[in-house]
Structure 1
Amino acid sequence: MDAPTSRPPIARPMRGIALKLCSVLIFIVMSALIKVVSDRVPVGQTVFFRSFFAIPVILIWLAMTQRLVSGLRTRNPLGHVWRGLAGTMSMGLNFAALAYLPLPEVTALSYAAPILTVILASMFLGEEVRLFRLSAVVIGLGGVMVILWPRLTIVGGGAIDDTAALGVTLVLTAALCTALAMVFIRKMSATESTASIVFWFTITSTVLSLLTIPFGWVMPTPTEAVLLVLAGILGGVAQIFMTQAFREADASVIAPFEYASMLFALIIGYVVFSEVPTPAMLTGAAIIVAAGCLIIWRERALGLERSRQRKAMSPNG
């Protein structure tokens, strides 16, 4: 999922929260639609539909908000390519994982992305990781291991489930790609607008998905075609809602509501796919959510501290 990089001063936090919850729900519905067709439609083809049919939605949004010009303008085209590669790989791997794992489990494991972002930002951006954030990262990775334990070990005399192990590998690799995309976005935010990052990612992922045609696309049935087109439209709408949410409220207020996706995934997974969550999955998800919230809280505290320091150093402060 893309993270907005800029916003005006805080205006309506409750509206921002509502928009964020809407975007989270729509993204989960989109994932459910992809899961329905995942047994027959190749991953590259689902990425194409998800990206291509989001383009008109995003263009209409940019035009309505009078940001069409800024959305098309870029000072760092190569940055968009690298961000697009990482983001498209993340999307494709997540879509592939949906064929092997329950929807709630894919959702829970994807929460590793913000935790991995802390590590990658330290490695590639030189961001300082102090003991508090490092502890939160360790806690979060511990939650991931709680979820993985029944999947990757012999529990109660049972055999290792190779299919589930593949699904876990796919979703964790997707989380790593998401974290890498977030690092690219942080670097690009100095020169690129949020509208530009959103638009060019959609274009890049559409083009990259076409490269998978030689690997075998299929002719979707009418039902599959409708589901795929709807997934693309919903993906574009969810992207807009998320972007608008961060324009209405501070990131520290909005970010924790990302974890509402776990509740939505549990409900949809149970009702639509008859997926019953395991105690290990629920426990691990709770640990990861707690770690993520600790990181968000710490980021907010550091942001406030930096703001006070800038104000103290200001001649007019």
Structure 2
Amino acid sequence: MSPSTSADRPIQAILLMNLAVFIFTAMDGIIKSVSQIFPTGELIFARNLFAFIPLLAFMLSIERRVHLKTERPWGHVWRGLFGVLAMFCFFLSYKLLPLSDAIALGLSGPIFLTVLSVPLLGEVVGWRRWSAVIVGFLGVLVMTRPGSGIFDPAAFVPLLASVFYALAMISIRRLAQTERPTTIVFYFTLFATLASLVTIPLGSLDPALAWRWPANAEQMGLLVLIGLMGGSAQIALTIAFRRGAVSLVAPFDYMALVYGFLIGFFAFGEVPDAYLIAGGTIVVGSGIYIIHREAKLARERRRQATVPAMPVTE
């Protein structure tokens, strides 16, 4: 796909982003539905193993080959480690919490990304983004309601997932300087598939963590579907960011909150309360503003980089 087409199809980019977010959210709903049957490690294995089917088909059809050459193997290891930990915590949160709660709390990723970008990337965060970060954390407090007597400690699981997600995004930012997007996705999927195997011995400690073969064709089909949906959504996400600017596409990631509410209600009978809706709205607003500011600053940096230097006079 030519880079020249990366930001000239905004409507298509928005539609693809919404499609990706809907598929990911529907996949989360399926994961929740089978989370009492299969341990989290096995779900991660299925999510990544069967994702190779659409991912490899996409890479071969677009780039005619699978690009495996990398100059930064340890960068892929760190991205894989943080990504797998984030995926584990996200999947576990679907088991422990209502789907809409887990998704809403998990959307705090951009807030943690802004905070961690200062010490890890050396970025300068102005008062506007710091204000958005503070407002976002207030939204998280509204959703979790600590001290109210109904605080669920399981709420820390999607928040921890958001921290690992932010670390994974920082790793991707570093890798993207030299690596192809498809190469990053391939190595993460491979790393996650292999890393999930580490959870197999946990079954000897707790029977609930023991991997099990699907009891019937329906269960097997759901495991395969989880992977196919994950891989397909990743492809739609990749194309969306190629067809539209980040500032246009990224905010639609928060449609996951709407899709999560709808799937939670119709599939699991979940009714989000006023605190979840209010807090989730605050977090979404904060995240969108952070994305807007980062995109604006990025445009300003690009403009400054193209301004010719003034000649030195004595």
Q: TM-score when scaled to structure 2? A: 0.92
Give deviations 1:197-249, integer Å, cap 9, x for gaps: 11100000000001111112122222222111101100000000000000000
Whether 2:141 is the aligned partner of 1:154: answer no
Whether 2:92 is the aligned partner of 1:104: answer no
CA RMSD of aligned residues (A): 1.5
Q: Which runs of 5+ in 2 are unaligned?
A: 203-209
Whether 2:119 is the aligned partner of 1:123: answer yes
Quote the residue 1:141 is aligned against: 137
8 A contact 2:86–2:160 mirrored in 1:
yes
CA distance in 2, matches of 1:134, 1:221: 50
Quote the residue 1:59 is aligned against: 56
8 A contact 2:98–2:270 mirrored in 1:
yes
| Count of paired positions | 300
CA distance in 2, matches of 1:89, 1:9: 31
One-letter code aligned to 1:189 = A
Quote the residue 2:13 is aligned against: 16
Secondary structure at 2:12 match in 1: helix
One-letter code aligned to 1:213 = I
Secondary structure at 2:122 match in 1: coil
Quote the residue 1:270 is aligned against: 265
CA distance in 2, matches of 1:11, 1:260: 22
Quote the residue 1:217 is aligned against: 211
Secondary structure at 1:154 match in 2: coil
Residues 192 and 8 from structure 1, CA distance in 2 versus in 1: closer, same or farther, beyond 3 angstroms? farther
Percent identity reads: 39
For residues 1-317 of structure 1, the aligned pairs below 5 Å read 9-66=6-63, 68-70=65-67, 72-149=68-145, 152-155=146-149, 160=150, 164-166=152-154, 168-215=155-202, 216-222=210-216, 223-313=218-308
Secondary structure at 1:282 match in 2: helix
CA distance in 2, matches of 1:277, 1:206: 34
8 A contact 1:115–1:140 mirrored in 2:
yes
Where does structure 1 differ by over 3 angstroms across 4 or more consecutive aligned residues?
Answer: 6-9
Q: Which runs of 5+ in 1 are unaligned?
A: 1-5
8 A contact 1:67–1:195 mirrored in 2:
no
8 A contact 1:48–1:210 mirrored in 2:
yes
8 A contact 1:86–1:181 mirrored in 2:
yes
Shift of 1:297: 1.2
Give deviations 1:68-112, integer Å, cap 9, x for gaps: 343x22111111111101001110111111111111111111111
